[in-house]
Amino acid sequence: MSRKGSRTTVPSKPDIRTVAALAKVSIATVSRTINASPAVSQKLAARVWQAIEQLNYFPNTHARSLVSGRSRILGIIVENITNPFFPELISSFEEIAVAHGYEILVSSTNSDADRLTGCVRRMLERKVEGVALLTFGGEEPVLDQLAIHNMPIVLAEFHLKDPKVSTIELDYSAGIHAAVAHLVELGHTRIGFLAGPHTLHSAITRLNAFQQTMRESNLKVQKDWIVECDHTLKGGVAGFAKLSALETRPTAVICSNDMTAIGVLRAVYMAGLRVPEDLSVIGLDDIDFAEFTLPPLTSIRLSRQELAKASFDALRHQVENSADPNLQREFLVSTSLVVRGSTASPKTELSTK
């Protein structure tokens, strides 16, 4: 059977040997040209490129991956693509990856362990070269699976003594410090915290950073001023409901993420109260939306660009230096406060209630 079984002369999908034939060189030379091997003479390279143009040829990545063992695909698994924080993160990650010749495979787990397992499985099947596990929690079930396959991974806020695992540490203290200081300066002493789900590392770290900061600032935080929400808009609404049922309420609240904060904004409004007059609220993440809420949300900024860049760099380092004995790396992404309109001095009558 002949290799090229096309029945017509229609511009059928060109093949490396179609190119070779047209350029009158061997397929090896075509391969070398494509891969920018220095061992090709200018003359032949030119002929090859011309043939490539003419045929509108491009290599089959599956064949390439199969033989080279390298797919040039990176996986990125996020917690919830519906939280704008993540699309912004993915967008940055994609941009950097594509610029470096990598393709990305995106998946969202919605904090569902089964979905996560499925994602990882599919990524393993597709032979991704590394995975950025940006779920901020719940990654334990797949860690072994990934380790078996010796897969480079990067985790946020989760340390592992494995040379293939890099960590991105998020330093919330700077931002949270600034947030508390900002509130104190405005005259607040009763500051609450709407936490994220305790299953998320990020939620715990954020809460801890808050408590630590409050201690350092000699501010007491009443137990019921800390309420666990779920990082969603609805969760913020529910969180505020709990807070407003209290005898002594906080005059300001810091939220574990912006979605929660936006939910609070909404709930306060529905309760006939006003932000920031009746309650100051501060978010965390500083998603693009934060600037467009009513009132504009004061938020602790966590740079998606930095996080994406750190993730990519960690992965790339591991992928491209797999000989290096000490691959594990640690990155630090910091936070800072962006003051907008959702914070103000507490009303006197309320603050003494």
If one asks whether residue 86 binds a second copy (CB under 8 A), the answer comes out as: yes
Site string (260-299) toward a second copy, x via CB under 8 A: --xx-xx--x------------------xx-xxxxxx---
Taking the least distance from each CB to DNA, the nearer of 19 and 204 is 19
Site string (155-194) toward a second copy, x via CB under 8 A: ----------------------------------------
Among 9, 10, 38, 325, binds DNA (CB under 7 A): 38
Taking the least distance from each CB to a second copy, the nearer of 30 and 176 is 30
Taking the least distance from each CB to a second copy, the nearer of 95 and 169 is 95
- Decide which of DNA, a second copy, none touches 25; Cβ closer than 5 to 8 Å per partner kind: DNA
Q: Which stretch binds DNA (CB under 7 A): 16-24, 203-211, 277-285, 317-325?
A: 16-24
Rounded least distance, CB 129 to a second copy, Å: 12
- Decide which of a second copy, DNA, none touches 94; Cβ closer than 5 to 8 Å per partner kind: a second copy
- Decide which of a second copy, DNA, none touches 269; Cβ closer than 5 to 8 Å per partner kind: a second copy
Among 28, 98, 246, 270, binds DNA (CB under 7 A): 28
Among 39, 99, 245, 323, binds DNA (CB under 7 A): 39
Secondary structure of the chain in HEC code, one letter for each residue: CCCCCCCCCCCCCCCHHHHHHHHCCCHHHHHHHHCCCCCCCHHHHHHHHHHHHHHCCCCCHHHHHHHHCCCCEEEEEECCCCCCHHHHHHHHHHHHHHHCCCEEEEEECCCCHHHHHHHHHHHHHCCCCEEEEECCCCCHHHHHHHHHCCCCEEEECCCCCCCCEEEEEEEHHHHHHHHHHHHHHHCCCCEEEEECCCCCHHHHHHHHHHHHHHHHCCCCCCHHHEEECCCCHHHHHHHHHHHHCCCCCCCEEEECCHHHHHHHHHHHHHCCCCCCCCCEEEEEECCHHHHHCCCCCEEEEECHHHHHHHHHHHHHHHHHCCCCCCCCCEEEEEEEEECCCCCCCCCHHHHCC
- Decide which of a second copy, DNA, none touches 330; Cβ closer than 5 to 8 Å per partner kind: none
Which of 145, 71, 138 is closest to 109 using CA atoms? Answer: 138
Rounded to a whole number of angstroms, the CA Rg of the chain reads 26
Q: How far apart are CA 286 and CA 281, in angstroms?
A: 13
Which residue reads 């993915």 in tokens? 90
- Could you say which residues in the range 101-130 bind a second copy, by CB under 8 A? 103, 105-108, 118, 121-122, 124-127
If one asks whether residue 161 binds DNA (CB under 7 A), the answer comes out as: no
User: Burial code of 230-241, b = ≥16 C-beta within 10 A, e = fewer?
Assistant: bbbbebbbbbbe
Cβ neighbour number for residue 305 with a 10 Å cutoff = 15
Q: Which stretch binds a second copy (CB under 8 A): 30-38, 170-178, 258-266, 322-330?
A: 258-266
If one asks whether residue 36 binds DNA (CB under 7 A), the answer comes out as: no
Among 27, 87, 174, 222, binds a second copy (CB under 8 A): 87
Among 17, 24, 62, 215, binds a second copy (CB under 8 A): 62
Among 21, 49, 65, 347, binds a second copy (CB under 8 A): 65
Rounded least distance, CB 270 to DNA, Å: 55
Which of 191, 194, 195, 248 is closest to 214 using CA atoms? Answer: 191
Give the footprint of a second copy on this chain (CB under 8 A): 11, 13, 56, 58-63, 65-66, 71, 81-82, 84, 86-88, 90-91, 94, 98, 103, 105-108, 118, 121-122, 124-127, 148-149, 233, 262-263, 265-266, 269, 288-289, 291-296
